[in-house]
Amino acid sequence: MQKIMVCIKRVVDYNVRIRVKPDGSGVMLDGVKMSVNPFDEIALEEALRIKERGTGIEVVAVSIGVADTQQQLRTALAMGADRAILVQTDQPVEALVAAQTFLALARKENPDLIFLGKQAIDDDANQTGQMLAAIWERPQATYASKVEITGEKATVTREIDAGLETIEVDLPAVVTVDLRLNEPRYVKLPDIMKAKKKPLDVTSLEALGVGNAVFLKTVKTEPPAQRQKGVMVKDVAELVDALKKKGLI
């Protein structure tokens, strides 16, 4: 194995309380802390661990988004990625266009393995990795909780409803990772300083020959309904009566 490509996405930090725009057209992003999608951070950590166990493996972090997405790519470089590529666009990109963009990069980079998080926490679509594998015509392993590389094959333990399933895929392949695969490393200040000198290339959808087609339209965004206050009951009979009034039993 010579190269691993890791696809990351810039999302609102998971610690931030999401606020919906007054007109319901989307989520407020002005002045909000943005971070690497947590699942993609786990994907990057796994790529770095494989690199550290092997010899001469290059890890390339790639992303699609606005110019400020360079901040998240610099974080990836600080974690240990060798270089980064930003496909810059000011327009939102849907899952299929993202997959087509990553395919264009894969054809240029020729990676042996592509890692992605199983989903992004902003839309929870869980589609890009599967679409990428399909149009790249390569095997895929989703929801990975353990990854082992042996020669030209990857053995992936994946989480399913019934428990764990272990599959073997030929490389090159696409792997999407789950939460329990690993715990990402802490980025230290010296690594942040070193990351500033690592190469970060910027390209565009047009340069890659990808059109930003729109297939979905967001009709309205609404915040979750506020939870009702709890009710204290004296005994079981009063509890049953309260549940019956609400139509729950």
pLDDT for 35-64, tens place per residue? 999 999 999 999 999 999 987 899 999 999
Percent of the chain surpassing pLDDT 70: 100
Q: Phi/psi of residue 97, each to 5°?
A: -65, -40
For residues 123-139, average pLDDT: 95
Q: What share of the chain is helix, strand, coil (3-state, %, to 5)?
A: 30, 30, 40
Domain positions in the chain: 3-218
DSSP letter at 68 equals G
Shortest CA distance to 101 belongs to which of 232, 212, 3? Answer: 212
DSSP letter at 121 equals T
What pLDDT, on a 0 to 100 scale, did the predictor assign at position 29?
84
Shortest CA distance to 154 belongs to which of 46, 7, 59? Answer: 46
For residues 122-149, average pLDDT: 95
> What is the CATH class of 3-218?
alpha beta
Reported as a single tens digit per residue, the pLDDT across 28-37 is 888 889 999 9
Distance CA 68, CA 37 (A): 15
Examine the pLDDT at 177 and tell me if it is beyond 90.
Answer: yes
Listed ranges 13-22, 28-37, 128-137, 211-220; the one with the highest mean pLDDT: 128-137
What pLDDT, on a 0 to 100 scale, did the predictor assign at position 58?
96
Reported as a single tens digit per residue, the pLDDT across 79-115 is 999 999 999 999 989 999 999 999 999 999 999 999 9
